[in-house]
Structure 1
Amino acid sequence: GGSPDMGGVSADGKRLWLSGRYHGEVYVFDTDLKKGGLIRRIRVGKGPHGLAIYPQPGRYSLGHTGVFR
């Protein structure tokens, strides 16, 4: 299930974050090859499209991945 769309990997490479465009969710995955998998679904409201993860505190994106604000 779900609708993974756009996202990014955390600075340490341990988490993959994806927007769930058609299900109003954000998905968080563990990237460990041995125990990886879905960690969490976070309800965020209708139509999240694009999610960007940055290692610098205070940086964020609204809209498509790589659209800086």
Structure 2
Amino acid sequence: MNNSNKKYYVVKDINFARVLKWICGQEYMVFDSKFFEGEKVYSFENTEKLQEALRIANEIKNKAR
């Protein structure tokens, strides 16, 4: 897992949450943002699988630039 000991990883963008779900197959939970009224955040359990999905997504993003 990454250096963070956080149990959850929060994503602010629904499309990115969907990409992570597609790559790692892990469901996310939807919560109201505590910083922006009317907005949602998407929370994943911070697992090795999720960290690998984040690495893959970042790799793809960097290749597309």
- TM-score interval w.r.t. the shorter chain? under 0.3
* TM-score normalised by length of structure 1: 0.24
**Which protein has the bigger helix share?**
2
* TM-score normalised by length of structure 2: 0.25
**Which protein has the bigger strand share?**
1
Q: Which has the higher contact order (CA 8 A, sep 6+)?
A: 2
